[in-house]
Every structure is written in C-alpha cells, then in structure tokens.
Structure 1
Amino acid sequence: MNADRLLTLYDRVADAPDAVARLRRLVLDLAVRGKLVEQDPNDEPASELLKRIAAEKARLVKAGALKAERKPKEPSAPLELFDLPIGWAWTNLQSICLSISDGDHQPPPKSENGVPFLVISDVRTKTINYDAARKVPQEYFDGLDPIRKPQSRDLLYTLVGSFGIPVPIRSDEPFCIQRHIGILRPTKQVDVEVLAIFLESEFAFRQAEAAATGIAQKTVPLAGLRAMALPLPPVAEQRRIVAKVDELMTLLDRLEAARSSREATRDRLTAATLARLTAPEMDAEALADHARFALDALPALTTRADQIKPLRQSILNLAVRGKLMPQDPTDEPASELLKRIDAERMRLLMARLVPRQKAPSTDSEREFAPLPIGWNSVALGDVINFVTSGSRGWAEYYSDSGPYFIRAQNIRFGRLLLDDLAHVEPPSNSEGSRTQVARGDLLIVITGAGVTNPAVLEKDIGEAYVSQHVGLVRPTDPAISEWLLLCLLADCGARRELVERAYGAGRPGLNLDNIRSLTIPLPPLAEQHRIVAKVEALMALCDRLEAALTDADTARARLLDALIHEALEPEAEQEVAA
C-alpha cells in the first residue's frame, strides 16, 4: 500500500459516509498483516528478536530487577490467526513486555499542586491531556510501585468502558493514572509506536472484546491483555511500518479535512439558497428567480440524505406563506370560510354536541410576513370544536383486542403510525367518549421525547382513543385538517411558536391553551387544497431523492467493502473485478 494506491481507493469511495475512518482501519489491518511495506530478506527474522528478548528478561529476573512471569492464560475464545510474511513470528503481549500493570487501586488524595493524575477521559483522544488532569501529592506519587509509574516509551491502554485505546508516552513528564488504564512497558527491542499501531487494529480489538468481562461496563482484565496474540515483524521492518503508517495517516488527515471543508461549503450554499426562498421581504418575481436557481443548484449541492430535511422545511415554509402556488382571484376568501366555521361551531354548541371551550389567548405580538390577498391570520382555537387530551389511568384498560389506543410513540413528525397501535377496553362513562378520535382529527404529542410532533388521522380506523400524552384537536371543518397539519409542521406557520411554548421553561410539555392559542395563516379553502396537493407531490419527490442518496451511500459502502477485501486478500482481485 502506497499513497498513490490509497488515493485511488479514496477517489472511488470518497463520498461513502465513513470512507476515511474505514481507510484508517484498512491501513492498520495491512500493517498488522505485513502487507503495508515490502519485506526485506536481509532483515534479521523476528524469531531471533524473540530469543534476545527472552534472554534479556531472564537476565533481569536473575538480577532481581524483574519478577518471574507466569505463563499467560489461553484465550477463552478460539483465535483465528492469519498467515504471516517470511521473517515474522507470532507472540503474545506478555512475551515482548517487561511489565503489564495498571494504576493504583486505592483512590489517591487530591491536591492543588503535585503530579497529574490521569483518567480515561484524559487519554481518550489518543493523546495525553496533562493540563486538564487533577493533581495528587508528590509523596503519593513517590510511594507508588515503579511499574505503576508511567514513563517515556511506555504505552497506556484503556481497560474500562472505552477500552482498547493505545496511547504511547513520548514525554518524560511524571504522572500517574487510575486503575482503569493499563501500563505496557515493552522491551527496548520493540518499537512502542508499532506496538500502538498493532493494538489499535481490529485484530487486537476483537481479542480485547472477547476477553472483556462485565455487563453494564466492559472491563479488559490484565490477564486477557497479557495473553493477547500479536504478529511481530523484524526490528527493521517495524521502523518501516511506523514511517509508512505515519505517511498514510497524514494523507488521510488531509483528505478528511478537505472533505469536511467541502461539505461545510455545500451546507452553507444550500442553507443560503433555501434561506433566500423564505425571505419575508421577497416579491413574487424575485422568488421565481430564486426558485429557478434553487432547482438548478440543489441537485449538485445535495449529496447526503440528511440534507433533504432542510429542503422539506423550505417547501413547508413556502406553502404556509402562499409562495408555493399562485393565488386565484376568483377563490372565495378565507373570511367567508371563517363565517361558515363560526356558524357551525355555534350550532354544535347550542345543540350541546361540543363542549364550550376557553377563548384562545393569542400572542398579540405574533405576526406573519404580509399574507396574500384573501388570506386571514387566526387563532387555532377559532377554527376547531375543541382541544383535549387523553385521560390518566388507562393502563388498566389495555387488552389484546378491542378499540385502538393511540400513544405518543405512534406519532412521528407529520405521520401517524398505525401498524403498532395498542388495544383497550375503555370505561363505560363519558370520560371514554371524550377522548375518542374521528377522521380529520389532529393529534399532537404534549409530553415526552416527541413533544410537539403532529399528525392527522387521515382515514377512519374505527373506535380509537388517545393516551394522556396526546393532544386531540378536532377542526370544525375536516376539510381544513391537512392545511392545519402543514401549519403545525412549518416553522413559518405555527411550529416555531409551538416549540417555543413546549421548551419555554422546565420540563418540555404543552398545555391545551398552548395549542388552542397558536396563530396560523388561513388561505381560501380551494387554495388550501391546491397547496396541500403540491406539497404532497414535492414531498414524494424528496422521498425519491432521499432514497436515491441512501442507495448511493449503500452502493459506495459496498464498493468500499470490495476494495478493502481486495486490498487485504489480493488473490480475490480478479473475482472482485468480475
């Protein structure tokens, strides 16, 4: 593997979601397998290196400078070894280290001055953050066993939680560590940098994962670390591997930075393009020009599925501002629609078919951009029969069959999920009928993680009720339900106001007056229907674009898989090419 080959791979898969991360892993895997640099038959074989290491350790044990070692335990899970290049040898971590230990198991005393005491968060980025570390007294540090005092050319290795992170020590600055970090002290005949490369590889991580114990928080025991199998190259090749990994990782750093800069520029251009479409001061002619530009530019700027979300919001904002479709001067104005709604609400109220509702307390400072001719600004409470929520204590009424029960989890942003509805046998009193839904009802999550999520019941599903976490809004005229949903979805409609009220203070949640008093724009009924139909068509287009981008990501990921397999298994090259 060389820089040209890596660039060729990158050019073919650059837009895969995790291309750089996976190519980093590829570099490490090639290094571990001896496929990153060429072997030199003149290099002293690793078997001779292992003999010298064993002799050195025996001498240190005899001199009392090193404790005698027990034979490391066999791995609990069978390990799949791969064929090594000529001159390499299999060994284990204990055989090439003078000691493998961890930090002191006793909580150290705190001090304003003294020696840095590192925890896992101080080394998680594969560098040592001395500045952020707390301090322990110098006398505590002086009393530690020498093998628990990290020193230059040691290797730290995280053992708990975020385990498997190797961090070479390149400084002589004194510090100590918590027990959740291991200290590996390789012999001077093993390059600590190549050891870090190998321990960062997928091959080493799988062994650590297999040895880890615990449920809530996994811990790699020192015994498992000592038994870890490692391929050992000749000393000269170790240096060549370190140099090549440094070269390729630097190249990947540059590629990643260039990609991040490119994506940030795309995001800024996309945001600016969409922002111009929803600028409140824009006239019809300017809007048409910007819309044409957006249609031409967005396909080139939109390369990720996550970029479709702001496009959808822009469509909704244009819709509720009356800028998605031209107005028809022959449409009956919204004021006439409001008169009919008022008359129908009064009739239902006089007949005691709907409850008397509290008058909506609208925000007097809430104003829309200038509305088109024929539109009105109204409170949601002015166009609905009532807003209510489900009752508490319905858990006892759950059953395996019977009427449906709509819960917050069934309501997503603009969608009602009907394939996972619970069933209930409701109480016979009026409390049950109060929360029964009907076709055309709006449903809004009023508590919990999905608070403010709206949906509309588009079809008759039979007898069904809502839970206490769902607000039920019944429009006086079901013909405006889809329009009201657009308003609850669009930031320029009522969504921004809804979110501000839900998250205004304390625990997120909505009360019924928060919903009743929302300010919404109301177009003529005929125009509502035209806008809703256009939005549905554009959202279907967004769905197809999102699916195409997702498929493209999948295809690039598969290509990356094939290229990585080809790099690791050159004999499969012809099969991949076919």
Structure 2
Amino acid sequence: MNPEFVRDAVSRFGDDPEGMGRFRRVVIGLAIAGKLAVERQRQSPAEMLDQIESEKTRLLRVDEISKPKRLPPVIDEQLPEGFADPSAFAPLGAVARIEKGLTGIQGAKSGSFPLVVTAAERGSCDHFDFDGAATIVPLVSSTGHGNASINRLHYQEGRFALGTILAAIFPYAPDLISARFIFEYLSTFKDELLVSRMTGTANVTLSIGRIAEVPIPLICPTVQRKADELMALCDQLEAAQAEREAARDTFTLATLAKLNTPDPETLGQDARFALANLAPLTTRPDQIKQLRQTILNLAVRGRLVAQDAADEPASELLSKLAKFRATERRRSDAFAPVENQTDLPLPKGWIAARFGEVFSIRTGYAFKSSTYAERGTLILRVVNFDRQGRFDLSDAKYIDGKHIDDKISKFHLVENDILMVMVGGTIGKTAKVGTHILPALLNQNMWRIRSYGDQMSVDFSFMLVRFLNQNIDNLTNSTHGHFAMGDYEQKVVPIPPLAEQHRIVAKVNELMALCDGLEASITKGEQVRSRLLEAVLHNALEPA
C-alpha cells in the first residue's frame, strides 16, 4: 500500500461529500477479504472465535465479566450491503461486552476525567465509570421527533465517564479484535447496522440487545491494524477536504451575497464575475440551490433584464388591478400606503404594492373523508405535490359529482392557479395548476392564489410567491405554524410592467436551464469520480 498514491487518488477522484465514505467501505471490504496485508499464518474466523470464547471463559472464571448471553450465528440478511459470507462474521455480543453509561449528563460534576456524551466534544467528570479502549454508541436518536438517526460514534481510551444515553463496547480479546477497528467498522456502516435497528415512535432508541445482534467481521489483527492506519489517513483527508469546502462555501456565499444585496455601481461587474466562476461556485447540489435562489432574488428585484422606457408603467397596471379588485373582492380594502415602506429599491417603471392589492386568495374546503370516491372530481390535497411543485396523484382522492353543490363548486381550480400550503410542516410549499390535474377542487390547509382580472404574468406571479416564502423555515419550527391571510395580504411585493414581467420570465427560464445542466453535470461527475476512485483504490491498497 502506497499512502502517497492513495492521497493523490482521493484528491483527484474523491473530493465530494460521499467520496470518503466510499473510501472507507473499500478499505473495510478489502480488510474482510484479507487483501490489506499479507500474513503467513492467517487465522480463520472460526479459529479467532474459538480463541475469543476461551478468553471469555477465563474472564468469567476470574469474575471479571458476567455470563454472556448466547446469540445465534449471523445470517445473510444481517450483513451490510456488498458482503455475502456470514461465516466471516460473528454477532457483536459474542466478541465484546456492551455496557450502558452510568453517569447522568446534566448532573455530572466537572473533574479530571473525560465525560463522553453524544456531542463531538467531550465533557469532564469527577469520577470514571470504565477503564479501557471502547467504541461508544448513542442509544437515542440524534434528531428525535420520531426520526431514527445517529450523528457520530466515539472512540475512547483509558479511564472515562459515560452518559446514560450511550453504550460502551469493550472487546473480550483486544489482541484479536481491537476497539478501534470496531469503531471504524460501525462508523462506516452506522446507518445500515445501527440506525436500522432503532425503534420507537416519538422517542427513537437503540437497545443493548439490538447492538449485540450487529454482525462484526472476524479479521486477522495484522489486517485490522492496517485498516486502522488507512482510517487514520481518511481522518486526515477528511479534515483537509472540510477545510477546502469551508473555503469554497465562503467564496460562494460572498459572491452570491453581492448579487442578493446588489450595489448598483458594481452589479454588472459582480454578475460577470459570478458567471465566469460558475464551476468553482457550484460543485455540490446544495450550491446549485443557492444559485437558483439568487436568480430568483435578482428577478424580482429587476436586476436580470434591462428596463424599457416604452413599457407601460406598473402604476397603470395597478390601477387596472384595482378596478377588477373592486368587483371581485367582498371585503373592504384596508391596505396601508406602501410609499417608503419597502427595503427593495425599485427600478424605473416598477411599483411596490400590498400582496392583497394584486392577488386574490381563497382558502380550501374541508372535505370529509366519508365523501371520498374512487372516481369523479379530484380533491387536491397537500400530499399531492412536492416542494418542487411536481404533482403526484398516486394517492389521489375524488368526490362524486352528486356531492358537489353550489357551495363546494366555488372551490373549483382553473389552469394556472397558484397553490400554497399555509399550515403545517410543509408550509410555504407551492405549485402551479396544469390542465393534467383538472377538474380539481381545493382541499383545506391550502390557498388558491390568482391575480385580479388575470392582469399579471402567471409565471412571474409564481416567482413572486416563492420569493416571499424563501425564509419560511422560521415558521415551520412552530408547533402551530401557519399563515394568517390578513398578514400575508399586507406583505409588500415589487411589481414590474407587464412587458418586463414576460422578459424576466424568459431570462429566468434560460438561467434555470443552465442550472439544470450544471446539476446534471455534477451528478454525472460524482458517478464517474466514484467509479474511478474505487478502481484506483483497489489497485493502490491490494498488496502485491
């Protein structure tokens, strides 16, 4: 194994969020196959297990451990993906003792001993619970709220205290199976081996018994040590990768920030710089998302296309909207003047208006499940479209025409209606109605949004709604997060001339197509890098 060759391979092919994870899997796979080091008198898995059983008998005789529970042998279904020989594995509980933490984290007193908790950093404690090398596994979900997840495992040596919501794994025969190797192996496959065994609804937990069932490869100590060396190399490479990504993120955020809060005197220069550096700015899908948001921000601020003095000013458009609003709106207007109340510097010909001055909002109808039918008119529900505005009618509900009276018929949708979820965990989710889902009725927990008299470009209106909802995350953290229609109608929105709206939509479509191409290129590049990395690593790591 040539460490410099491995470093070079990872730097060229593995510089993506999943690259190091693939590297670790390759290392473990080669370790299990015995290809990381040459050992003349290699022990078989059965021989190693016999030696571990002998050591357990000795420890039991001198009263250092309690009698271990017998566990059934590992079967194919328990193995991580990519492994197919259960005879090379043993249940974790057969090769190591698993101890629950003894120290209450909140009540722990500071001291000279490390206190291992779920966070990355250790605490301190005035006493120790255990002494030795151990792999530490959290017993509770990292995210809670019914989601099974584990952020990290820990490796700890010497005397340490352990929180009660974690468990320590101590090999019975450390000279045969090291705690460090168990840590690296479980960390690499934590989702498949540990997270998948978590149970519970509101409180998702992992039991000692379920940890004991996890299959552990029985690998020669020499090979384990070689794997440990490579995992240490992984740690170094990951740290360097994180440093590079942090620098790239800073560069990206700084560049996009100049466009999101533009300086009129330098906007042209800043935009040209961003376009010239799209490749280094966008190397990950999340950065493409930032770029899309920046394009949307520029669009509604009038920074994407040039203004035309020949366009009918937006003030005329607002006057036309007011006439339609007077005939369509039942409630009396109560919109405060917008002058000097917007932080959006508007281009010439634009005007700032209250959302309710431009758009009509209707709340959906609370259909009863007892009225659902197998066919008829679609009842469009929150679950029928995603955050990208794509419709999914695989779980569609319908209502028979005989149940649609004059009251319900008012909730019929038409082409180009804008839908928005206004309550719950997906608040702010939007979609635009197409003919492929019609006829359809609007269900509860959603709004139907359309401009008065159809005086606005539908596509620009859709951009405007998504622009307003871009900081919606603050509301979703609330137990009862919802939009009040009156508050939403008072939001200030920038309105360009109708002709400019159409030019903006055309430009945004062009730039979003560019983003689509970049996204596809990133995905394809990651796949190619993954295959190249795996091939190169096999050649680099296998002994001659």
| Structure 2 counterparts to residues 76-115 of structure 1, below 5 A | 77=75, 80-81=84-85, 100=97, 102-103=99-100
Residue of structure 2 aligned with 1:264, choices 230, 240, 246: 246
Residue of structure 2 aligned with 1:470, choices 446, 463, 482: 446
Residue 557 (structure 1) aligned with residue 544 (structure 2):
no
Identity %: 29
CA distance in 1 between counterparts of 2:478 and 2:152 reads: 40
Inter-CA distance 201–288: structure 2 relative to 1 (3 Å threshold):
closer
8 Å Cα contact 2:184-2:231 kept in structure 1: no
CA distance in 2 between counterparts of 1:96 and 1:531 reads: 65
Amino acid at match of 1:77: I
Q: Which residue of 2 aligns with 1:87?
A: none
CA positional deviation for 1:376: 1.5
Residue of structure 2 aligned with 1:389, choices 363, 366, 376: 363
How many residues in Structure 1 have an aligned counterpart in Structure 2? 524
Inter-CA distance 512–431: structure 2 relative to 1 (3 Å threshold):
farther
Residue 323 (structure 1) aligned with residue 271 (structure 2):
no
Higher Cα Rg, which structure: 1
CA positional deviation for 1:331: 1.4
Q: Which residue of 2 aligns with 1:144?
A: none
TM-score (norm 1): 0.73
Residue of structure 2 aligned with 1:446, choices 422, 428, 432: 422
8 Å Cα contact 1:416-1:457 kept in structure 2: no
Q: Which residue of 2 aligns with 1:523?
A: 496
Q: Which residue of 2 aligns with 1:37?
A: 37
8 Å Cα contact 2:355-2:489 kept in structure 1: yes
Residue 297 (structure 1) aligned with residue 277 (structure 2):
yes
Deviations 1:191-233 (A, max 9, x none): 74566468648799988899x7978755453995699662344
Inter-CA distance 252–291: structure 2 relative to 1 (3 Å threshold):
same
8 Å Cα contact 1:280-1:369 kept in structure 2: no
Q: Which residue of 2 aligns with 1:574?
A: none
Residue 486 (structure 1) aligned with residue 495 (structure 2):
no
| Structure 2 counterparts to residues 564-575 of structure 1, below 5 A | none
Q: Which residue of 2 aligns with 1:539?
A: 512
Inter-CA distance 195–59: structure 2 relative to 1 (3 Å threshold):
same
Q: Which residue of 2 aligns with 1:171?
A: 158
- SS in structure 2 of the partner of residue 529 of structure 1: helix
CA positional deviation for 1:446: 0.8
Q: Which residue of 1 aligns with 2:482?
A: 509
CA distance in 1 between counterparts of 2:254 and 2:540 reads: 41
- SS in structure 2 of the partner of residue 440 of structure 1: coil
Q: Which has the higher contact order (CA 8 A, sep 6+)?
A: 2
CA positional deviation for 1:246: 4.9
Task: Note the aligned Cα RMSD (angstroms).
Answer: 4.7
CA positional deviation for 1:151: 2.8
| Structure 2 counterparts to residues 217-236 of structure 1, below 5 A | 217=205, 219=207, 221=209, 230-233=218-221
Q: Which residue of 2 aligns with 1:25?
A: 25
CA distance in 2 between counterparts of 1:450 and 1:276 reads: 30
Q: Which residue of 2 aligns with 1:373?
A: 348
8 Å Cα contact 2:56-2:172 kept in structure 1: no
Q: Which residue of 1 aligns with 2:232?
A: 250
- SS in structure 1 of the partner of residue 288 of structure 2: helix
| Structure 2 counterparts to residues 341-356 of structure 1, below 5 A | 341-346=321-326, 349=327, 354-356=328-330
Q: Which residue of 2 aligns with 1:398?
A: 372
8 Å Cα contact 2:324-2:452 kept in structure 1: yes
Inter-CA distance 25–462: structure 2 relative to 1 (3 Å threshold):
closer
Inter-CA distance 337–251: structure 2 relative to 1 (3 Å threshold):
same
8 Å Cα contact 1:452-1:499 kept in structure 2: yes
CA distance in 1 between counterparts of 2:152 and 2:488 reads: 50
8 Å Cα contact 1:159-1:221 kept in structure 2: no
Amino acid at match of 2:363: S
TM-score (norm 2): 0.77
Inter-CA distance 438–410: structure 2 relative to 1 (3 Å threshold):
same
CA positional deviation for 1:67: 8.1
8 Å Cα contact 2:417-2:450 kept in structure 1: yes
8 Å Cα contact 2:92-2:212 kept in structure 1: no
CA positional deviation for 1:389: 0.5
Amino acid at match of 2:219: P
CA distance in 1 between counterparts of 2:357 and 2:235 reads: 58
Larger mean Cα displacement after TM superposition, 457-466 or 370-379: 457-466
| Structure 2 counterparts to residues 144-293 of structure 1, below 5 A | 150-153=130-133, 170-172=157-159, 175=161, 181=167, 184=170, 186-187=172-173, 190=176, 192-193=178-179, 196=182, 200=186, 217=205, 219=207, 221=209, 230-233=218-221, 237=222, 241-242=224-225, 244-283=226-265, 286-293=266-273
Inter-CA distance 397–73: structure 2 relative to 1 (3 Å threshold):
closer
CA distance in 2 between counterparts of 1:489 and 1:109 reads: 43
Amino acid at match of 2:209: P
CA positional deviation for 1:552: 1.6
CA distance in 2 between counterparts of 1:363 and 1:411 reads: 36
CA positional deviation for 1:469: 0.9
Amino acid at match of 1:184: F
8 Å Cα contact 2:373-2:400 kept in structure 1: yes
Q: Which residue of 2 aligns with 1:575?
A: none
- SS in structure 1 of the partner of residue 219 of structure 2: strand
Amino acid at match of 1:371: L
8 Å Cα contact 1:334-1:523 kept in structure 2: yes
8 Å Cα contact 2:422-2:482 kept in structure 1: yes
Inter-CA distance 219–288: structure 2 relative to 1 (3 Å threshold):
same
Inter-CA distance 230–50: structure 2 relative to 1 (3 Å threshold):
closer
Deviations 1:91-114 (A, max 9, x none): 9878877xx364599x99997769
Inter-CA distance 362–398: structure 2 relative to 1 (3 Å threshold):
farther
Residue of structure 1 aligned with 2:293, choices 299, 313, 330: 313
Inter-CA distance 359–570: structure 2 relative to 1 (3 Å threshold):
farther
CA distance in 2 between counterparts of 1:75 and 1:101 reads: 18
Deviations 1:485-539 (A, max 9, x none): 221122xxx446x849956976211122123222221221111111112111211
CA distance in 2 between counterparts of 1:223 and 1:408 reads: 39
CA distance in 1 between counterparts of 2:362 and 2:55 reads: 81
Q: Which residue of 2 aligns with 1:4?
A: 4
CA distance in 2 between counterparts of 1:249 and 1:111 reads: 35
CA distance in 2 between counterparts of 1:415 and 1:207 reads: 35
8 Å Cα contact 2:105-2:164 kept in structure 1: no
- SS in structure 2 of the partner of residue 477 of structure 1: helix
8 Å Cα contact 2:372-2:397 kept in structure 1: yes
Inter-CA distance 282–372: structure 2 relative to 1 (3 Å threshold):
same
